[in-house]
Every structure is written in structure tokens, then in C-alpha cells.
């Protein structure tokens, strides 16, 4: 669909949806646990649904009670065709692997689903075919797939589609820390299932460290021990995920960032549903809004929201540490720059970020959403300060993380006209 936003400041109260980052982690841990887990969650989105579908394909049974806002997860243990390494499968990958009749794991457009579940599927001894849509088949995984192959998994490609077959051996796992924290999270979920102990050693400093902190917090909640070292973590093997029975998924600071950016641009939105006692790195948005120099290496998802706020602030803002955004749902650096330029903003793309000269007049116009949920939401917030209507193409992309975004935008007094695509 396409939408047209009419300028005007927003006001009122909005409760942001559940964090998809937290939801992925809670659901995976629940599916690996020793019993029934109730995951309390107030909203789903496309990425969470992709993880649910993949966990179901792996053998978990998941019931959704939308009225009560909860998912009841029965774990994968005992699913047909899956055996744990604790039952003797460790290290039995072969150079002649039969990939016939694999489990179908469709990750949609969710990089988290793919990178978290790829090591888990191998640890479970699953024969599976991973697929995806959008830009996900273009996104890199080589550092992770090479590490998995080195420890016994058979994987026939480094990008989607890929066929995999377990099993995995423990030992020393060496990874770069500046490629994707999702690789680390996937291994942290998988390695406790192995018979042997493991060490994860990072060869470069970890970026997006807050996401790994979220993973470690979830693992603790499920009774998994992970010991930090100077350059990574030690993960004892032979562990059992112990269900806490109830898990409450906290609100999403990545979603809250857009409303907080609107406030920095003159709106008056009271954001609820988020906790300041959280491991989410995007909690930093409140501190970063208004800064002239922003290192986004640990909070790359905040860049679109920070950029639109910078566009109306009468100063130069320099954002660095964001080169990985080129590999998201869009080339997010280029997409942000094109969005700002289309509405009269002054922006330059650098090798790892953006330079924004803010404070100039913003005009109405048309913005390409690039099939990227964060670009669409950022454009809608920026449009509140334009001098005329702003049309955003491909606005349905918000369903990836925040399906109710435009409903909430309207409830805050925003003017939105919705048109089906092609009109």
C-alpha cells in the first residue's frame, strides 16, 4: 500500500508493541526448554511470525491466544526426525549428505530468525532447508556458515536458499564481532545443547553488544550458564533449558524511537510500554537525540529515527559506525539519504554513516519506502514537519515490526490517507 501523510504535530499517549528482538529470544528458548512455557506478548508482527513458523516446523507446538495476549509453547523435544547431540549425534556430519525431504524453514525477511535458528537446527541434528524473501537471500552469513562447517555441520551454501544437516561438535568457535551480533546469539542458543564444552572467541570488537546482552539475559532466565571471558564466552555443554513457565516480553525501544524522534521535532507523545531497566541497546535513543556526533555501532537500528530528528535541528549531525546498515532490508544509509533529500533535507552519505545539515525547510513530495519498515516509519515522522503532503510508497513494510504503526499515528492526531499500491 501507499500512504499520504499530511503535516501536523502529534500528541497523546501510545503504547509501543512488544520487542521483536526479545520475542525471538524468548520463543526460541521456550522451544528448547524442558516443559511448557507461556510467553506473554501483546502483539505479533511478520518477523515474530516467521520465527513461530520455523519453530513449528522443527516440532514445537505453539498456540496463540490473541485475546489474552499469550503464546503457549510446547518444546521441540521428541519431534519426529530430530535428535539431540546429548543422545549421541555429535560430529556425525558426512561429506555425502542426503538433503532429501528436509524440513522447510521459511524465515520470511527476518535475519534474526535465520541467524538464530541456523545453529540451533544443526545442534538439533535437523535436516532442513532455509529459505527467505526480500533482501534476506542477499544478506551475508559466511562467517557463521564457515564456523558451523568447521564444527561438523553440512551446509551447501552461504546465502539463501541453503540446505543444512547436523550435527555439531563443541570446541573453539572463532568469529568476528563486527559483522553481526546475530551470529553470536545463534551460537549462544545452540552450544549449550552440545555434548562438549565450547568457547566463543571474537577476533574483533563486538558491535551491537546490547543484543547479545539480551540473549544472555534470556539464557539466564532459562537456567543456561554462559561464562564471559576476556574475548568472548565459555559455554558448558550438556545443559538443559529449564522453563520459567511464564515469560513477559517487554516493549520495543526500537519502535519507541520514532515517537521520541517526533517529540524532538516538536510533537508531544507520551510513550508507554517500555522499561528503562532493560538490556535493549536502543534504550540509548533518549540520550542520542540532539547529539551532534553519534556513534551508531551499537545501535544501528536507531539511525533512521535519529536522522529525521537531525534533519529539523539547526546544526550539523554526524552519524558514524553504521556501515552494516547497507546490508539491512535496504541499503539503509542510502535509503535514509534519499528520503531526506526527497523532502529537501541536506545529507551526505559517508563510508560508514551520514552527515546531516539540519534546520532547513522541508517540502512535501514522494518518498520510496524501499520495502524497509524503518524507512517507512521514519518518513512518516519526518512528514509531520514538511510544508505539504508526503506520499510514501510500499508503506505495508511496517508489518515487519510494527503492524499498527499507522493506526497509532492516526490515534495521535496524525492525518494519513491510505491507497492500495498502484493507485
CA 56 to chain centre: 20
Please write down the HEC assignment for all residues of 89-139: CCCCCCCCCCCCCCEEEECCCCHHHHHHHHHHHHHCCCEEEEECCCCHHHC
Long-range own/partner contacts, residues 145-154 (CB < 8 A, 24 or more apart)? 145/118, 147/173, 147/174, 147/175, 147/183, 147/187, 148/118, 148/119, 148/122, 152/90, 152/91, 152/92, 152/93, 153/93, 153/122, 154/93, 154/94, 154/95, 154/97
Euclidean distance between the first and the last CA atom of the chain, given in angstroms as a whole number = 9
How many residues does the structure list for the chain? 423
- Choosing from 47, 252, 282, 301, the catalytic residue is 301
CA distances from 7 to 65, 141, 199, 218, 389 (A): 38, 41, 53, 41, 6
Q: Catalytic residue at 357? A: no
Strands 37-40 and 246-248: parallel
Distance CA 401, CA 381 (A): 16
- C-alpha to C-alpha distances, 395 to 152, 180, 336, 356, 387, nearest whole angstrom: 43, 27, 15, 24, 21
Ramachandran sector of residue 381 (left: φ over 0; alpha: ψ -120 to 50; beta: rest): alpha
Alpha helices in 141-277 (DSSP H): 142-150, 181-190, 209-221, 253-264
Residue 249's closest CA among 16, 407, 34, 55?
A: 16
Residue 97 burial class via C-beta count within 10 angstroms: exposed 0-12, middle 13-18, buried 19 and up: middle
Q: Could you give the residue numbers annotated as active site? A: 301
Amino acid at each position: 500500500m501507499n500512504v499520504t501523510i499530511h503535516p501536523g504535530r502529534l500528541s497523546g499517549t501510545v503504547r509501543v508493541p512488544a520487542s521483536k528482538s526479545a520475542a525471538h529470544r524468548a520463543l526460541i528458548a521456550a522451544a528448547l526448554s524442558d516443559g511448557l512455557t507461556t510467553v506473554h506478548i501483546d502483539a505479533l508482527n511478520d518477523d515474530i511470525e516467521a520465527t513461530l513458523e520455523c519453530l513449528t516446523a522443527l516440532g514445537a507446538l505453539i498456540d496463540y491466544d490473541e485475546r489474552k495476549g499469550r503464546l503457549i509453547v510446547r518444546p521441540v523435544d521428541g519431534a519426529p526426525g530430530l535428535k539431540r547431540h546429548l543422545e549421541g549425534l555429535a560430529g556425525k556430519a558426512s561429506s555425502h549428505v542426503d538433503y532429501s525431504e528436509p524440513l522447510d524453514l521459511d524465515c520470511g525477511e527476518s535475519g534474526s530468525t535465520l541467524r538464530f535458528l541456523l545453529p540451533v537446527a544443526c545442534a538439533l541434528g535437523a535436516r532442513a532447508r532455509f529459505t527467505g524473501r526480500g533482501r534476506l537471500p542477499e544478506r551475508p552469513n559466511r562467517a557463521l556458515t564457515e564456523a558451523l562447517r568447521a564444527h561438523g555441520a553440512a551446509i551447501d551454501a552461504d546465502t539463501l536458499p541453503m540446505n543444512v544437516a547436523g550435527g555439531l561438535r563443541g570446541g573453539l568457535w572463532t568469529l568476528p564481532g563486527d559483522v553481526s551480533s546475530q551470529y553470536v546469539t545463534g551460537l549462544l542458543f545452540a552450544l549449550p545443547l552440545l555434548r562438549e564444552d565450547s568457547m566463543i572467541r571474537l577476533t574483533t570488537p563486538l558491535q551491537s553488544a546490547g543484543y547479545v546482552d539480551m540473549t544472555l539475559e534470556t539464557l539466564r532466565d532459562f537456567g543456561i550458564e554462559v561464562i564471559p571471558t576476556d574475548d568472548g564466552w565459555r559455554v558448558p555443554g550438556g545443559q538443559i533449558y529449564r522453563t520459567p513457565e511464564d515469560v513477559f516480553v517487554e516493549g520495543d525501544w526500537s519502535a519507541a524511537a520514532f515517537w521520541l524522534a517526533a517529540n524532538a521535532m516538536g510533537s508531544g507523545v507520551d510513550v508507554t510500554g517500555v522499561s528503562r531497566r532493560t538490556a535493549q541497546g536502543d534504550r540509548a535513543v533518549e540520550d542520542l537525540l540532539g547529539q551532534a556526533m553519534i556513534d551508531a555501532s551499537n545501535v544501528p537500528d536507531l539511525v533512521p529515527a535519529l536522522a529525521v530528528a537531525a534533519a529539523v535541528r539547526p546544526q550539523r549531525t554526524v552519524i558514524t559506525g553504521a556501515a552494516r546498515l547497507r546490508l539491512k532490508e535496504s541499503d539503509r544509509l542510502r535509503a535514509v539519504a534519499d528520503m531526506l533529500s526527497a523532502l529537501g533535507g541536506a545529507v551526505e552519505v559517508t563510508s560508514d554513516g551520514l552527515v546531516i545539515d539540519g534546520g532547513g525547510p522541508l517540502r512535501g513530495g514522494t518518498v520510496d519506502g524501499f520495502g524497509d519498515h524503518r524507512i517507512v516509519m521514519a518518513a512518516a515522522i519526518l512528514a509531520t514537519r514538511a510544508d505539504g503532503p508526503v506520499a510514501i510508497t510500499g508503506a505495508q513494510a511496517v508489518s515487519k515490526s510494527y503492524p499498527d504503526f499507522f493506526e497509532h499515528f492516526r490515534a495521535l492526531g496524525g492525518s494519513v490517507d491510505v491507497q492500495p499500491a498502484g493507485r
